[in-house]
Structure 1
Amino acid sequence: MAEELQALQVRFGARYPRWLLGVLMIGSMAMVMASTTINVALPAIMADFAIGRPVVQWLSTGFLAAMTAGLLLAAWAQARWGARRTAQIGLGLFVLTSLLAVLAQAAWQLIALRIVQGLCAGIVQPLAMVLIFRVFADSGRGLALGLYGLGVMVAPTLGPSVGGYLVDHFGWPAVFWLPLPLCLLALLGGQWLLPSRRESRPPSLDLVAFALLCVVLFALLGALAEAQRFAWDTPRVWLPALVGGLSCVGFFLRSRRGARPLLPLSLWQHSGFRSASWVALTLGLGLYGSTYLIPLYLQTIQGYSAGLAGLLLLPTGVLMGAASFAGGWLSDRVSAALLLAIGLLIFALSAVGLGWLHPGASFLFLCFWACVGRIGLGLLLPALSTGSLDILSPQELAQGAGAITFVRQLGGALGVNLLTFFLEWRHGAEGGHAVAEAQAFQQSFWLVAAVFALTALAARGVRSTAR
């Protein structure tokens, strides 16, 4: 790949790295936007299909779980098909499923299409980080990661903002149209700018390990989803939990013994990578969990429309983009551990503030605390990328990028599921009425704050190279 990247740079000139970065940002923004835009449409989908939160949350967690599994196929797909063909297959299938989603007549059809979309997103997204590390020199890498983080971190906020307006005026199917222009732009730009060379001897894919991983993710998430409606001692709860636990053991045993494991466990021999993984897990919970929780809270407790809930998130996206840009600039100058701790504590403060508010709180107060949290998240991604990958060798880079993104997406899938479980549990425990629901949301925000504050301790172990 290195030789082809040099040839492309010669062909397109000094601007090639910036053009490539733009295409990578557009493609990643489309994938990430699709993962969160659905959240403002959940109340409308619940009403249209007559389903509750335990079922509708699969539209978010199913996507994130499939995306998490797909991340581990990225390195194999890139080696077998090349970066250009991998992006074309993933983005093309994503566009097709988006068009089919608007024709869904039942909730299970919509969930199935979302799972396919998540798999496509998981395969495409890691290509960006690998190419950024290969194309940009050390002096500009932090800035490039900051710009890339600008797109990746802003998309989850801008998506619901625009999607809320579309839902109010065109109904929930409109959220599936939103990423399509970005997908088409990424397909067009990638045709010229992405390298196409494949490895002469691509690695084999461990289908057994991949199947075990899928069973782990969907069985455990399914058990938690069913536990929101049934007792833990019922077979439909404990049986998938048991199957998921046994599959998890089988997956790790196979990964330890395999010559080319799907998930390279040797990466976690680096203490800094282990610490970065805890931060990535929490970042996923905060990024996707809050983007799921806040629009639902605004529409359920504060009585906002989908459009107004999205509008409240719009300034948060602008501030998160600015913070991500600043985080990339700072990651070239200060330690990753310090930036991560600051970002985690800022987000914890935001969650405390949102939990402190009561029904009927002013728009400005709600927007202020949401903005504070997005500033914290904006600082996290560039520092996490730098701190987790700088310690790895060039041979470990592709696997490390996929692994740390895998952990972050795993945090998102588990975070949304666990927050839904906690929300339903506290709603029932507080009495099951409207006031109890408001209290359940309040306690959910406080739980998120506690998790982020504790993770700030793990951030001390992240050590990037000296600046």
Structure 2
Amino acid sequence: MEQDLAALQARFGAHYARWLLAVLMVGSMAMVLASTTINVALPAIMSDFGIGLLLAQWLSTGFLAAMTVGLLLAAWAQARLGARLTLQLGLGLFILTSLLALLAQAAWQLIAVRIIQGVCAGLVQPLAMVLIFRSYSAGRRGTALGLYGMGVMVAPTLGPFIGGYLVDHFGWAAVFWLPLPMCLLALIGGHWLMPSQRDPHPAKLDLWAFGLLSLALFTLLGALAEAQRLGWGDVRTDALAVLGLGAGWAFFWRSQRSRTPLLPLTLWRHPAFRRASLVAMVLGMGLYGSTYLIPLFLQTVQGYSAGRAGLLLLPTGVVLALASFLGGWLSDRLSAALLLVTGLLVFALSMAGLGWAAQGASFALLCFWASVGRLGLGLLLPALNTSSLDILTADELAHGAGAITFMRQLGGAVGVSLLTCFIEWRHVAGGATVVAQALAFEQGFWLVAGLFILAILPAWGVRGSRKNVSA
């Protein structure tokens, strides 16, 4: 028997929304843990499989790219299968692939596992925002999102620290079984607390659009990587770029003409949603780019072990968790534009500080600047979520939640790939020496700071309507 939110609220009483929030937090924590802990294991994986950074970065970008396209399946899956079955499918497949990763004998097998896990994460992540908006009244959404953000940020707080310790003592395989206990807990809680109601007439899934988008994203990321290895002008690089651009154009052409588009372009008729999308892309670049860049910098330039690199990131996660709660509380009281601009400036200052400190800086100084960046991200996340979704109608909410998360993940996938290519380019251009590598990372931090400064203009124009769109 299918159960909707109203039936579950009647069954579990006044505290139902809190229990549901807890389940959503645990499920999202497992996905965030999977996306971030791999970064402290990259040097060990590169050593064990004998691969370079350009191939190893696919363990991160492959996950993020697959999650990006998987996000667009989330609204269809929720309508077709219901939220409960969507969660069970996503987490069940994630658990299976985590176990298969332990059997990998080649780098491409690990990359394939990460791509499948990215799709699973794309199915699971949007459930949280949609159900929080529907189970909490408009006046409490900011606080609920802040609590959710604070809880979810426990994963990148403890993940690199625990993951780094496990990598030092048990090898890189440990990062694949680390999220499994939370996956099992979310599966059990979701069976009782997640709504199972389905849309009796779900929209048809546009498989052509999904295939075109997947092809565009992976070929363009592949072109960036090949350009660094072979250079622009090489037939393989140019072929990937042309194929990716063609697939991207075909995807938008089909989306404009489809009755049930995979990515409803009408969402961007709202000026605030357009501006929020730009900020979301830059936020993704900073969030995932810095999470990728900092552990790599600490291990390859500073000479830290995986455990010590994770230890430095531990305080930054605490700051991010507290700042996310503060950002959610403030988003119910201050304008989204003010919070977004403040968060962007604070994060840009952090990246500039890391670029200035660079090689030879003390543990405490690096930890301080990294923590400043997490403060900025904590202010950004709840304000971006509330401002982008408040202006949408109830019918647009599921697609809007997926779309804004899509833009953030797209920024993350592109950002990690661009940073990898940029650092390799500057490293080689500087003579491929140890000093050149340190300088390349320093310039990478400055690049991220510049992108966040540029995002201030669209952020200042973001205005939420503050209307109640709860179902």
- What TM-score, normalized by structure 2, do the two folds share? 0.98
The structural deviation recorded for 1:367 is 0.3
The structural deviation recorded for 1:148 is 1.1
> What does the per-residue CA deviation read over 1:270-306, in whole Å, with 9 as the maximum and x for residues that have no partner?
0000110011001100110000000000001100000
Is the contact between residue 3 and residue 195 of structure 2 (CA under 8 Å) also seen in structure 1? no
> What does the per-residue CA deviation read over 1:185-211, in whole Å, with 9 as the maximum and x for residues that have no partner?
100000000001111111110000000
Is the contact between residue 255 and residue 262 of structure 2 (CA under 8 Å) also seen in structure 1? yes
Evaluate the alpha carbon distance shift between residue 194 and residue 71 of structure 1 in structure 2; reply closer, same or farther with a 3 A threshold.
same
User: 2:303 aligns to what SS in structure 1?
Assistant: coil
The structural deviation recorded for 1:154 is 3.8
User: 2:26 aligns to what SS in structure 1?
Assistant: helix
Q: Take 2:225 and 2:358, find their aligned partners in 1: how far apart are those partners?
A: 28
What does residue range 309-388 of structure 1 map to in structure 2 within 5 Å? 309-388=309-388
Q: Take 2:458 and 2:76, find their aligned partners in 1: how far apart are those partners?
A: 31
Is the contact between residue 28 and residue 151 of structure 1 (CA under 8 Å) also seen in structure 2? no
Are 2:103 and 1:103 equivalent residues in the alignment?
yes
Q: Take 2:299 and 2:375, find their aligned partners in 1: how far apart are those partners?
A: 23
The structural deviation recorded for 1:265 is 0.5
Q: Take 2:359 and 2:188, find their aligned partners in 1: how far apart are those partners?
A: 47
Q: Take 1:389 and 1:41, find their aligned partners in 2: how far apart are those partners?
A: 36
Q: Take 1:157 and 1:237, find their aligned partners in 2: how far apart are those partners?
A: 38
Q: Take 1:338 and 1:3, find their aligned partners in 2: how far apart are those partners?
A: 40
Is the contact between residue 76 and residue 202 of structure 2 (CA under 8 Å) also seen in structure 1? yes
Q: Take 1:186 and 1:94, find their aligned partners in 2: how far apart are those partners?
A: 12
User: 1:361 aligns to what SS in structure 2?
Assistant: coil
Unpaired runs of 5+ residues, structure 1, are none
Q: Take 2:454 and 2:413, find their aligned partners in 1: how far apart are those partners?
A: 20
Q: Take 2:262 and 2:466, find their aligned partners in 1: how far apart are those partners?
A: 31
Q: Take 1:147 and 1:109, find their aligned partners in 2: how far apart are those partners?
A: 37
Q: Take 1:257 and 1:362, find their aligned partners in 2: how far apart are those partners?
A: 56
Q: Take 1:178 and 1:378, find their aligned partners in 2: how far apart are those partners?
A: 24
Unpaired runs of 5+ residues, structure 2, are none
Is the contact between residue 157 and residue 291 of structure 1 (CA under 8 Å) also seen in structure 2? no
In structure 1, give the amino acid aligned to 2:366: L
Q: Take 1:152 and 1:421, find their aligned partners in 2: how far apart are those partners?
A: 30
The structural deviation recorded for 1:153 is 3.5
Evaluate the alpha carbon distance shift between residue 99 and residue 247 of structure 1 in structure 2; reply closer, same or farther with a 3 A threshold.
same
Q: Take 2:157 and 2:440, find their aligned partners in 1: how far apart are those partners?
A: 23
Q: Take 2:96 and 2:407, find their aligned partners in 1: how far apart are those partners?
A: 28
> What does the per-residue CA deviation read over 1:51-95, in whole Å, with 9 as the maximum and x for residues that have no partner?
000000000000000000000000111111110001001000000
The structural deviation recorded for 1:155 is 2.3
Q: Take 1:333 and 1:62, find their aligned partners in 2: how far apart are those partners?
A: 38
In structure 1, give the amino acid aligned to 2:222: G
Q: Take 2:235 and 2:128, find their aligned partners in 1: how far apart are those partners?
A: 42
Q: Hey, what does 1:30 align to over in structure 2?
A: 30
> What does the per-residue CA deviation read over 1:291-344, in whole Å, with 9 as the maximum and x for residues that have no partner?
000000000110000000000000000010000000000000000010000001
Q: Take 1:107 and 1:157, find their aligned partners in 2: how far apart are those partners?
A: 27
In structure 2, give the amino acid aligned to 1:414: V
Q: Hey, what does 2:296 align to over in structure 1?
A: 296
Moved over 6 A (4+): none
Q: Take 1:190 and 1:226, find their aligned partners in 2: how far apart are those partners?
A: 42
Q: Hey, what does 1:439 align to over in structure 2?
A: 439
User: 1:90 aligns to what SS in structure 2?
Assistant: helix
